Amino acid sequence: MSEKPTIEQYIKNIDEHNFKAYKCVGCGAVTAPPSGTCYSCGGNEMDWTTVSGKGKLVSFTVIHIAPEEFQEEAPYFVAIIELEEGTRITTRLMGFDPMAPENVKLGTSLVLDYEDGKSGRTYLSFKPA
Tell the smallest beta-carbon distance from residue 20 to Zn ion (Å): 17
Nearer to Zn ion by C-beta: 5 or 122? Answer: 5
Tell the smallest beta-carbon distance from residue 32 to Zn ion (Å): 14
In the chain, at which residue ranges do the beta strands (DSSP E only) sit? 21-24, 30-31, 46-49, 54-63, 76-83, 88-93, 109-116, 122-128
Binding site for Zn ion (CB under 5 A): 24, 26-27, 29, 38, 40-41, 43
Nearer to Zn ion by C-beta: 41 or 129? Answer: 41
Tell the smallest beta-carbon distance from residue 23 to Zn ion (Å): 9
Nearer to Zn ion by C-beta: 43 or 86? Answer: 43
Alpha-carbon distance of 69 to 48, in angstroms, equals: 30
Residue 128 CB neighbour total at 10 angstroms? 15
